[in-house]
Amino acid sequence: MNDPKERITRLRDELNRHNYNYYVLNSPEISDRDFDMMMKELERLEREHPDLDDPLSPTHRVGSDLTQGFTQVVHERPMLSLANTYSIDEVDEWCTRVSDTLGGETPTLVGEMKFDGTSISLLYRHGRLIRAVTRGDGEKGDDVTTNIMTIKSIPLTLKGNNIPDEFEIRGEIVLPWDAFERLNRQRAIDEEALFANPRNAAAGTLKMLNPSEVSRRGLDAYFYYLIGDNLPADNHYDNMLQAREWGFKVSDSMTLLNSIADVDRFINYWADTRKTLPVATDGLVFKVNSLRQQLNLGFTAKSPRWAIAYKFPAERALTKLRYVSFEVGRMGVITPVANLEPVLLSGTTVKRASLHNADIVAQLDIHEGDMLYVEKGGEIIPKITGVDTAARNPDSQRVRFVTHCPACGTPLVRQEDEAAWVCPNKYGCTPQLIGRIEHYVGRRMMNIDGIGEENSRILFETGLINDIADLYTLTAEQLKTTGGFGNRTAERIIEGIEASKQVPFERVVYALSIPYVGETVAKKLARSVSDIDRLMEMSLEELTAIEDIGPRIAESIIEYFAVPLNREIIERLRSAGVRMSVDKIEGATRSDALAGKSIVISGVFARHSRDEYKELIELHGGKNVASISKKTDYVLAGDNMGPSKLEKATKLGIPIIDENRFLEMIGEKDFDTETLL
């Protein structure tokens, strides 16, 4: 493409699309390096052809992660991106350029780890956390204070001395490798799309509207820059040491560097050592230490001149394809998997990599015995990024996607508007039957201790169970004699099965493996319909009237309960004592006391749990909402109400009520009442 105008237009379109995938969908399609190379090319072309400049070009903006579910806050100081490079020579050139700009003054630099997460800015006043805001578009971000408060490594109140009355501290929210692997294992069991890397998982988690789920995910945070008018020191390094004393997690990798040779040694040391860290990293950051020198160096339109990021190249290996297997999931989805000659990559041996679907296989044009490029970079999930066609045997055959289920032989069907091919033999295909058992016993479903993937298979293959209802007929003796389980394991399984009878109805709905009914949808359904009998009889119109239930989910629910076998299993579960309705708060009755009222809950309560208050709101005709807006009627506030919610409710003049006042409003008169806060 020789026409500069066409190339510039193409690059802008591509970069805008990749920005959206990265910041909004948290689902990047290309590597950071490829993105940066495209951006550099566009910057060069725009410099060469200033007449083609466009104020809306991606070169004039920072990618955005703004969402509609959070209040947007303007940053007091813009959060700019760092200039970055993949070349040690370019880092050295930057060091020389900084020195020259400072009139030959040799600056002390600070070398730091570049954590691969999502940026955050925290505001503190008088030693207390006031607000947490994502980077967003650099000028404004999302207020995620409530979610940030669930991260245990972030101090809500500070300790120590020399704390400014007000300051801002910036850092990175990360998901440690252990938490990331645990999350993806659960998503694999649920047949949900896996997160490509901890960065995407951290960004997605921080934007969840349910703080309790954010808390369960196990986010962590590292901080790297202090901003304010009355900082303790005149240099970055000492300020961060002081922040560490106040309670912030500051990386031990932070090091003072006095020469270009020190910088090069720092890069070479961390190139391999970083792989031993408990969190993902994708590079290093170098900053001028003196705040006076930082001020003299200033900023470009997009980044500070006093800092640069060096990014480690993604790890890539070339290995031989042994064969492609086709695996059947719980919902019948067929996933192609590349089985590889073992290759060492990012400290682990890679033998398998998902090819995701038929479209990806066709796009890569994989042939039998091909040499495949496998990449991990900052990602723990290996992916096939290309084929070495020069090494291909000219007689090799193209890998063809299967047309029949590899487990039961049933012809596959492709769902409309989806890439997946599916085995429709839901009730006769062994991997699907075992998968539903494995899902049912999972931690976030029925949480039956002692039964995981392997034991689900053993129970099915030995004939001890054929479906989830059979679990409740098992005895410890059967498990020991037929299943080959030890005494303690058998007892633990029976105890877990008995305990599962107390699992709330919303988790039972999730455990049933109704297509498209994940954890969040199951909660919506359970709280809206109250019992299984109502759910089984609802029409398409009634189901789609429930918030967030679209036609596809509604049709799937109707199809599920139209199968006699599924209804039979429901009745057997009911007879076994599994909960098939929502437990109502004792003594609670329905009314219209809160009809048409939107209520936000914040804080910790003494008389009922948050979930119980949500149920009471719905029982009395009200609506639970996650964030405060002009349409909010009340904020039900307990102890430790989120400071951002308090500030916004006060600003908008929304009544803040405590739990005694709330209970009085719904007709509970046995408590002392207090006036509006």
Q: Which residues are catalytic?
A: 114
Quote the Cα angle for 175-181-185, to 5°: 130
Q: How far apart, in Å, do the first and last CA atoms of the chain sit?
A: 66
Q: For 515, how many CA atoms within 13 A lie in the half-sphere containing its CB?
A: 19
3-state secondary structure of 338: strand
Which residues are paired to 326 by β-bridges? 336
**Spatial distance between the Cα atoms of 315 and 250, rounded to a whole number of angstroms:** 27
The answer to whether 183 touches 173, Cβ cutoff 8 Å, is no
3-state secondary structure of 560: helix
Give the list of residues 6+ apart from residue 539 with CB closer than 8 angstroms, or none.
558
The answer to whether 254 touches 237, Cβ cutoff 8 Å, is yes
CA 140 to chain centre: 21
Cβ neighbourhood burial of 643 (10 Å; 0-12, 13-18, 19+): buried
Query: DSSP alpha helices (H): ranges in 169-210?
Result: 177-189, 198-206
Give the list of residues 6+ apart from residue 224 with CB closer than 8 angstroms, or none.
112, 170, 171, 172, 240, 250, 251, 285
Q: For 34, how many CA atoms within 13 A lie in the half-sphere containing its CB?
A: 12
Of 456, 458, 478, 476, the C-alpha closest to 468 is 456
Place of tokens 């579960």: 573
Of 385, 319, 391, 321, the C-alpha closest to 349 is 319
The answer to whether 412 touches 334, Cβ cutoff 8 Å, is yes
Cβ neighbourhood burial of 165 (10 Å; 0-12, 13-18, 19+): exposed
**Spatial distance between the Cα atoms of 659 and 647, rounded to a whole number of angstroms:** 19
**Spatial distance between the Cα atoms of 517 and 330, rounded to a whole number of angstroms:** 13
